[in-house]
Structure 1
Amino acid sequence: MDDYESKKFIAKSENITIGELLDIWAEEELKTGTLSNGTVQNYLGAITNIKKHPISERKLKNVTSEHLQAFFDLLSFGGTYPDGSERKGYSKDYIRSFSAVLQQSFRFAVSPKQYITFNPMQYIKLKYQTDEVDLFSDDDMDGDIQPIPREDYERLIEFLQNYNPPAILPIQIAYYAGLRIGEACGLAWQDVNLEEQCLTIRRSIRYDGSRHKNIIGPTKRKKVRIVDFGDTLAEILRNARKEQLKNRMQYGELYHKNYYREVKDKTEFTMSSIIWTEQRMFQKIIRKYPLSA
């Protein structure tokens, strides 16, 4: 390790700044933890933005809750930034990501690092601008997220038809039902009600970068919810179900369903086939054992 790296990571605690703390926390805890890749990238983006603000240059030993509260009030309501620019306030979800990063990094600074003796973020109150009332708002939805344009969706499907056909079904479900892609990939057929045209969202699939494997777990907000869908997705799902049943009959013992096992408190509960992975398994089989003409 060269002198620069040594100074960067073995600096005396009284000289460490908030920006340096964020870098250390990202390398030693954030990137090696069990958070999904999406969350990690979101937090890394928040770190980059925090480090653009002068508060990142403040030493840990000098930072107070008042400094942090002023920073979050500026994020919430906007105003004049240190560079002289005027900016509007950020969305609730964006501010929450900043808060999560600073909460966890300051906790990390208290223990195990022992850079400071208490977490000043515990006294911060997040404030938000009052939005116009929306009678149809959904508190579980992520703010500021817009669906992709129809033409982009069609280009994506056209690309996947040549590059990765098994990925088309979860993309279609995500697009027409407004799901996160991990939720779409985590659906099982018993979660689909074609008569009532609704989905029960119980689980999500995410990639664990530290273990290099896919993990099936709860949804982002750890809630089970019901999502309605229209006739277009209903037809897509009916055709997918018919195709899977036909292939299962034709291939017999060569056809393998991909199972997951739900485990809670070390007690096994249910076993179900995942729609997408069953479809993907069939694609592998048909390449190895093509149907006769």
Structure 2
Amino acid sequence: MSSNLKISEWFDIWYDSQTHIKQSTKSIYQSYANKHLKPKMGTVRLKKLSRDLIQQFIDELSIELSPKTVRAVYSMLKLCLTAAYEKHLIGNVVDKICLPKTVSKDVKVLTKQEQKRLEQVIEAENKENDIGILICLYTGIRIGELCALKWENINLDRKIMTIDKTMYSVQSNDGKCKTKIILSSPKSVNSERDIPIAELLSEKLSKIQKSEGFVINRNGKYIEPAVYSRRYKKLLEKAGIEYMMFHSTRHTFSVRARELGVDVQTLSEILGHSSVSTTLNFYGHSLPEHKHNQMERIGGLFSQSK
């Protein structure tokens, strides 16, 4: 193997060797390479690579992409070129690169009033598959986990839901269609979990319970996440709620749980986060309404002391 290889050639060699990572991750890497890496740096030979060239590439990406995406492309590139460094094909050219700072965005959640309106619309629509939205609002599972959920994973006697699969789409290379659906183990080891089912949700599930098959289905076949997300969008419109991504159901569950005093450790385990710190970073803060209520309680101490 020679340092005379072009970056595009080395990427393909490295990519094919990544048999230990999930297909969904490989699909993202392929997309980043085809859209960004190969068009801008594909013809550069490994022996010509320098830290300045990498920095220039990152700076150019920063003009057209979000900081989060730029950092993701860099992470992939660093893995790829670190492998080349370990084979003595290049020097250490990927360290000490200046990356754009990410700007944290407020997590979008349904207010209590919006959640109530949405649930009223779901009740009025009376469509069996809409139970999936309630499942997410009351357990916090991800849409991929919902679409992969089967009746065999739900034990209503014990009121336990077992999450052991997720569903996602990846780019297809067979030429017949752009994407294909993959069913696999969840995001991380912690994502495989048992979630207690609240009585309200248990009652609704018992009314439509089947012995087997996908909980969310069309004629017995699964419904893919992108399709089910569109149903959520329609229900938001009918409830008069501004559009927010389906993942907002997970955020909404988490915020409601924190409002009710659920401890972070328990919430982290229910959500299937890899660590408690992840949960704290997302949901450790208070909502403005909750902060106001807490300050009023403190103010009450002064009025009582008069």
TM-score bracket, normalised by the shorter chain, equals 0.3 to 0.5
Higher strand share: 1
TM-score, length-scaled by structure 2: 0.44
Larger RCO (CA under 8 A, 6+ residues apart)? 2
TM-score, length-scaled by structure 1: 0.45
Higher helix share: 2
